[in-house]
Structure 1
């Protein structure tokens, strides 16, 4: 099926692409393994120190490299053949995680190994995302992105649930060894199935440093109005749409519910995103879903405004809690706008720049999610949690207007293979 074909692709057509299967399967496997390790190491640190702060720091450390050094680390995906980046990252992570599983490893060494494992995340994910765009195109890429998103949501849930059960019957060290095994399987699977492609930049490119590559990726985005609008919409919409997660505990408490209901409340939005993403990719297709972008963005934020107002006006009660959860689910359906936006982003970025461009986009995404959650937490110190949710939805509806207008005013374009690809890159 050509990229110009507006017909939505089927799941069978996507899985028929030989190289997509290992990219999808290893991503799911590694995500489950990551959640196993995250829980196991957090439990291990807490068992040794009895410190909630150190346990929380351990859990959060795996996200630090993306937020701090993602744009720099992701340049690796554009400096070497991407299949080699994927395989090497998995092999090194398997060795490092196995080292973490050695009984009696000093705590500073454990945290140091965890940091090294986390540093390999941005190169791996940037290479995987860029390679996905190389092996799939048009509607197949849109459906593949949706399937990957579903895989992420399901793998996280499975990983956390399985980790909680395994840690109760096995030692954290054994669970860490299971995580190391997932990286070994992933490396072997990728090595056996991926085609060998050259370095994306090509042999004729001028030698450059990591910092020059990073600056080149930032310049590419800065000079392209289409990419600027896409990233502004992605960051702004995500920051306000996910802010409520930062106050999920006090919000659930204010509704008169307990820890069991907290899990349901937290799962409502991701479940909506999962279902909405499948509908957008499989039913609407890229072209139609892009035309519906303003509606989808509004749908991701307006239910938050309503949920917050309901929580403030009605007070605690099982019926109010159920309505809030339902509204969060609807907001998740709307948040599926990220699927067509991802396709538009890929189409506007030259292949040789995709690794570092993904790095910039994802790094900012981690940053704004943290900023949104922190802002919501600070606001909840002074006003009721429901009011904070309403503010996030209301302010978000206003804040997304400029990037939506910018997105609508820039024409879709398919980038070429060189740095001049795209409508505004000189």
Structure 2
């Protein structure tokens, strides 16, 4: 199995383990900060905290290219994680002493650190493996996030029963300490093995706009991602749909979420190993179109077994979206790859923040219409994106960027 083979390499195992722990800590942090905001200042504070963390991603992706480039190494990312140790550990203290303004300021700082860290690490991950293994390594990172999303909230509930709320922040800070140590160690090894010759300057300095003009199918895929994230926010109105149509409550909602999670784990094992076609932007848009169709069918479901089947199918498709796009972007040289990953993160953060402000509330008033509208919009935009990408990638040879085979070590 590809995952097992990759994990036999010490650098991959160390990075995967450290990032898995860090992502798990992030789930504890997310629950803790939202609960703290609710407890101290109510629902409005929860929304402000969510926006405060998202704004730095949007700003950094829009105007922070030069700053982003300064952190394009494992050693620099270790320093970012070191800063997050302090920021996260200070959050509960800052709230108790200075209140909501201090909490929001630290949330912005944590978001800014994440905006520097996430696209840079995503762009560096392919350098740990051979080009033929990029899909599998992104499958591993996708699996990490999905396991954390499933286990994090339950673990947080158990931990809160035996320790104070502030301890969740300290645990998250400890996971950043582990991640910083691993990145610093890997960064020292990468620095020693780096070639001394000059790297080609042209691909590295290529601007984002020129990249998108040169690779319009990639731009279409990233655009579809943003629209899909915006439209999929209607899924937060699922409790309203369950109550209105099936007179079901929290237990049924939890069962559907668990079914979605199980489907996503199964989908990850397939998406990380199945051979993907050469026209990845076309595949990516087509998967989003299928996801939109399933979302629309939620509004038409006649009984709970149908909803559960739709949940399992939607979960199964989700890893194909993430792994397909990441694998496609990894084919670009390091600089353009980083810019495109940053652009994608900026777009989905913008779409996610905007959608959460309006879509769930509107869909809750008429959940059936909300699911149909969100799903059909996704189908239409993704279908157009797939058709356009197919046209732009008729010459598939022009899509491939030659990459040298790196020399890998098991140490």
Global fold match (TM > 0.5)? yes
Q: Which whole-Å CA distance do the structure 1 matches of 2:241 and 2:9 have between them? A: 44
Correspondence for 2:235:
245
Correspondence for 1:169:
162
Residues 1:26 and 2:18 are matched in the alignment: yes
Corresponding residue SS for 1:102:
helix
Q: Which whole-Å CA distance do the structure 2 matches of 1:139 and 1:237 have between them? A: 28
Alpha carbons 1:304, 1:390 under 8 Å: kept: yes
Structure 1 residues 48-101: Cα deviation after superposition (integer angstroms, max 9, x where no partner): 33x221134335533332244334446544334511221001111101222224
**Alpha-carbon deviation of 1:259?**
2.0
**Alpha-carbon deviation of 1:285?**
1.6
Q: TM-score under structure 2 normalisation?
A: 0.83
**Alpha-carbon deviation of 1:371?**
4.3
Q: Which whole-Å CA distance do the structure 1 matches of 2:199 and 2:97 have between them? A: 44
- Choose from 69, 88, 99 the match for 1:78: 69
The verdict on how the C-alpha distance between 1:340 and 1:48 changes in structure 2, with shifts beyond 3 A counting, is closer
Correspondence for 1:380:
363
Number of equivalenced pairs: 390
The verdict on how the C-alpha distance between 1:372 and 1:175 changes in structure 2, with shifts beyond 3 A counting, is closer
- Choose from 123, 128, 146 the match for 1:153: 146
Q: Which whole-Å CA distance do the structure 2 matches of 1:293 and 1:360 have between them? A: 17
Structure 2: runs of 5+ lacking an equivalent: 404-411
- Choose from 352, 361, 371 the match for 1:369: 352
Correspondence for 2:386:
404
Q: Which whole-Å CA distance do the structure 1 matches of 2:58 and 2:341 have between them? A: 13
**Alpha-carbon deviation of 1:379?**
4.1
Correspondence for 2:408:
none
Correspondence for 1:317:
none
**Alpha-carbon deviation of 1:334?**
2.6
**Alpha-carbon deviation of 1:406?**
2.3
Corresponding residue SS for 1:287:
coil
Structure 1: runs of 5+ lacking an equivalent: 1-8, 315-319, 418-426
Residues 1:217 and 2:208 are matched in the alignment: yes
Correspondence for 2:39:
47
**Match runs of 1:23-422 below 5 Å:** 23-49=15-41, 51-73=42-64, 75-102=66-93, 104-107=96-99, 108-194=101-187, 195-197=189-191, 216-240=207-231, 242-254=232-244, 255-282=246-273, 284-287=274-277, 290=280, 296-310=287-301, 314=302, 320-338=303-321, 339-347=323-331, 349-374=332-357, 376-377=359-360, 379-380=362-363, 384-409=366-391, 410=393, 411=396, 413-415=399-401
**Alpha-carbon deviation of 1:355?**
2.0
Structure 1 residues 153-195: Cα deviation after superposition (integer angstroms, max 9, x where no partner): 1112322222222233322222211111111111112222343
**Alpha-carbon deviation of 1:143?**
1.4
- Choose from 13, 16, 19 the match for 2:8: 16
Alpha carbons 1:238, 1:368 under 8 Å: kept: yes
**Alpha-carbon deviation of 1:125?**
0.9
The verdict on how the C-alpha distance between 1:78 and 1:342 changes in structure 2, with shifts beyond 3 A counting, is same
The verdict on how the C-alpha distance between 1:233 and 1:245 changes in structure 2, with shifts beyond 3 A counting, is same
The Cα RMSD (Å) is 3.2
Q: Which whole-Å CA distance do the structure 2 matches of 1:331 and 1:63 have between them? A: 25
Q: Which whole-Å CA distance do the structure 1 matches of 2:364 and 2:36 have between them? A: 32
The verdict on how the C-alpha distance between 1:204 and 1:415 changes in structure 2, with shifts beyond 3 A counting, is closer
Corresponding residue SS for 1:400:
helix
**Alpha-carbon deviation of 1:118?**
1.5
